[in-house]
Amino acid sequence: MSRVYNFGAGPAMLPLEVMEKAQAEFLDYKNMGASVIEISHRSAEFDEIINRCDELLIELANIPDNYKILYVHGGAQMQFSAIPMNIIQRKPAGKASFVLTGNWAVKASKEAARYGEAVNIASSEDQNFSYIPEFDPASLDPESSYLHITSNNTLFGTRWHSFPDTGDVPLVADMTSEFLSRKLDISQFGIIFAGLQKNLGPAGLALVIIREDLLGHALPMTPGLLNYKTYADQHSLANTNNTFAIYMMSLVLEWLKDQGGVADMEQRNEEKAKLIYDCIDSNDFYYGTAQAAHRSVMNVTFNMRNEELLGDFLKQAEAEGLYALKGHRDVGGARASIYNAMPKAGCQALVDFMQDFAKRNG
């Protein structure tokens, strides 16, 4: 079997060991004579899967006792609606604040405006979201129900290296493209959410980690399956959840634990990103599209000085087994998404190709 190095932004590559285990168990889960996708979400076997997922998340992310873990339908974008529906009216002002660092924060702000007032207190749109704007605490209204940030910007290749101090205003972070790739202090956040399709499993489900005091503030119009309290009260099983995605996440989390946990993975991720950034910075053939001080570790965005070579670069890279390197249309160029499952060997293979391509075309 020949497999490529998949640099796709998402759905992204999963660890080979995880997929092999899922393959081995697919037709006959634990000698039941049935697949894991066929068994009831109310069965003892699935209860064991979801409980194990909880345990691993608590251990790996060091989640405090006063937070709830929710497995929520609809992926990360659905949470752009669910979050304001659940907490924008927890204060009389009915206001949410946003720092705009890319398309996803813009979409989240526009969605929140449907349910209250959305205030954009900082933005990097003036330079095509190539940096993280300075956060001025004085710009944050203490009557805001929350401040929303995107911790890592998949499209533009930037990330928050440290997080803003929001005082008593809960910090809400979209961590879709980096959750469990670096150590976090969960207590800094009111809500963390992430679509599974980058570092956690297959697409179609979102993980939400919410501080307990933020439950119970949903707007009366909130549908039951967008109300976080519904998920918290019924262990995310008010209806048939995406059982296969939860099962796959449990395997990914087991794999991450076997790799040494988040601290070890963070070190590896830093090394992987440095390999590629050093290549970009070491010659005049390539240039990074994100400002160096704000570069992402998960999504490396770059282009060639001679942009007419991009098509050849992408075509030849794919022929070498370096898959899905095309950048997003709003940035152009190339993008290497190097999530937890990407081995260092894949990054080295990309660097070797980049150096050879520059030598042949420079």
Query: Cα–Cα distance between 42 and 27 in angstroms, integer?
Result: 19
> In the beta sheet, which residues pair with residue 123?
100
Phi and psi at 268, nearest 5°, equal -65, -40
DSSP 3-state percent helix, strand, coil across the chain (nearest 5): 40, 20, 40
Question: What tokens appear for 6 in the block?
Answer: 């998949």
Point out the catalytic residue in the list 68, 95, 104, 160: 104
Per the CB < 8 A criterion, the answer to whether 171 and 149 are in contact is yes
Point out the catalytic residue in the list 68, 91, 95, 174: 174
* Cis peptide upstream of residue 164 (ω within 30 degrees of 0): no
Helices (H), 62-134: 75-87, 103-112
DSSP E strand boundaries for the chain: 5-6, 67-73, 95-100, 117-123, 146-150, 152-153, 158-159, 171-174, 191-195, 205-211, 286-288, 299-304, 322-323, 334-337
* Catalytic (active site) residue 104: yes
Point out the catalytic residue in the list 198, 229, 272, 326: 198
Query: Cα–Cα distance between 290 and 26 in angstroms, integer?
Result: 42
* Catalytic (active site) residue 281: no
Torsion sign over Cα 14, 18, 20, 24: negative
* Catalytic (active site) residue 198: yes
Q: Which residues are catalytic?
A: 104, 174, 198
